[in-house]
Amino acid sequence: MNNKELFEKSLKYVPGGVHSPVRSFKGLHTTPRFVNRGKGAFIWDEEGKDFIDFCMSFGPLIHGHQDPEIKEAIIKALDYGWTFGACEKYSLELAEYIVEKISFIEQIRFVNSGTEAVMTAVRLARGATGRSKIIKFNGCYHGHLDAMLIKAGSGLAGTAEASSKGVTEQQASDTLICELGNLAEVSQVFEEHKGQIAAIFIEPLPANNGLLVQELSFLQGLRDLCTKHNALLVFDEVISGFRIGFGGMAEKTGITPDLVTYGKIIGGGMPVGAVAGPKKFMELLAPIGPVYQAGTLSGNPVAMAAGLVNLKKLTKEAYVQLEQNTVNIVGIMKEWMDKNGFEDYQIVQYGSLFYPISTHNKLTTIKDLPANMGERFYKLFETFLNKGIYLAPNGYEVGFCSLAHGKEVQDELKNRLWK
């Protein structure tokens, strides 16, 4: 079956034909590509066409598809069994490796996704403080839990409303929305809700509504406000953790959060998430503390084995090469775009993340994104797709490079763009 036939069949059995909305080609003038396999920096669809992949499963595949050492670890783990629902050494080995290498983490609890990690962190922050309200920011995404599917209201600072049906007004009222970069607004919200705010949640590198690089002074200001008001600062590093550097943005900025959430890279491409922090907070979790959390498949041995090998391969030299790959890729793309009708675009790059956007304005908040970006992105996406270059099929999603995007892939990118 070709891509169109598969999608038509999928629409019959699956809502919208997809198991996650970011995989849909909604708004695009073409059909989703059904991926058959991946290897290195490439994917192949069911029709046999290959693409240079810059989605990389939305970030986890920092070594590329089917990295041989990670694949070997997965196969070896399968020889022992793929789930136990009991204590095992695999999660312990990964926990020890992470905790020993990241100075501000004393304990870690593995879960099954980034959303689940944030859900646990919200409950943990409320349990630690005895407070109900949290602050999040317009333009940051923290998974699809009710407390985070909230957008800014039309009233004063801190007002909010649900961004999804099925989220109650009560849930929305406990999440206070602020604008990125506006410390005065955050301070005002703390004053208006004295003694009620459990935590600030932020992506220290917001990468789900474009790539919105924040000023260090803003992130430090959030740290200071949380300390002043006895609230927790929670860094959502599901995307940036282990990608920007081993210690993520916390290491990069030198700012210590009270809790951090991880996902994606720590599973080596297998389903995983985690919440981590100092013992004084982590030991509030069940079975020794009053904050309940559980999961049948948490700490899955296959994911743990894959994640451990994945992280051990992330040396200082690997991060240098990863960023150089990205710089080269961005340069190749930008040179072609400037000469082929996309000169109004810039490509924002941070580490191994990049984001093509049809404006030359500095991007720090979602208000900086152009109104017509969807229409412009569709043209760029489909042009690239026809040349065998696969971006995430949504104008708000960032691109990911991997260690597999080396010189041969860069040369192939040049060939595909200019032929």
- Which structural domain range is residue 60 located in? 3-67+315-418
DSSP bridge pairs for 160:
152
On whether both 31 and 115 belong to a single domain, the answer is no
Amino acid at 15: P
Whether residue 243 is found in the same domain as residue 323: no
Q: What is the pTM of this model?
A: 0.95
Task: Output the pLDDT for position 27.
Answer: 78
- Name residues of the chain where pLDDT drops below 70: 152-160
Q: Is 141 a catalytic residue?
A: yes
Per-residue pLDDT, 158 = 53
Considering the domain architecture, whether residues 323 and 376 belong to the same structural domain is answered as yes
Examine the domain organization and report whether 184 and 99 are in the same domain.
yes
Res 151: pLDDT: 75
- For the stretch 244-302, pLDDT in tens is 999 999 999 999 999 999 999 999 999 999 999 999 999 999 999 999 999 999 999 99
Structure tokens, 4? 């169109």
Query: Is 258 annotated as catalytic?
Result: no
Q: How many CA atoms lie within 13 A of 175 on its CB side?
A: 28
List the catalytic residue out of 174, 236, 258, 390: 236
321 and 304 inside one domain: no
Residues 295 and 351 in one domain: no
Supply the pLDDT for residue 25: 84
Q: Are 52 and 78 in a shared domain?
A: no
57 CB burial (10 A radius; 0-12, 13-18, 19+): middle
Rounded to the nearest 5 degrees, what angle is found at the Cα of 7, between the Cα atoms of 4 and 10?
155
Count of domains for the chain: 2
pLDDT for 154 = 45
Query: Do 342 and 266 share a structural domain?
Result: no
286 and 340 part of one domain: no
Determine which one of 45, 133, 136, 264 is catalytic: 264
Distance CA 324, CA 209 (A): 24
Judge whether 110 and 211 are in contact, CB under 8 Å: no
Does residue 368 share a domain with residue 397?
yes
Show which of 286, 312, 338 is a domain's final residue: 312
Structure tokens that stand for 7 in this block = 């999608």
3-state DSSP call for residue 151? strand
Distance CA 258, CA 272 (A): 21
Catalytic residue among 53, 90, 133, 141: 141
Reduced to 3 states, what is the DSSP secondary structure of residue 268? coil
Amino acid (one-letter) located at 325: N
Active site residue 13: no
Instruction: Say whether both 56 and 176 belong to one domain.
Output: no
Per-residue tokens: 164: 């999804």
CATH of the domain at 180: 3.40.640.10
Q: Are residues 123 and 93 in the same domain?
A: yes
Q: How many residues does the chain have?
A: 419
- The confidence score (pLDDT) of residue 376 equals 83
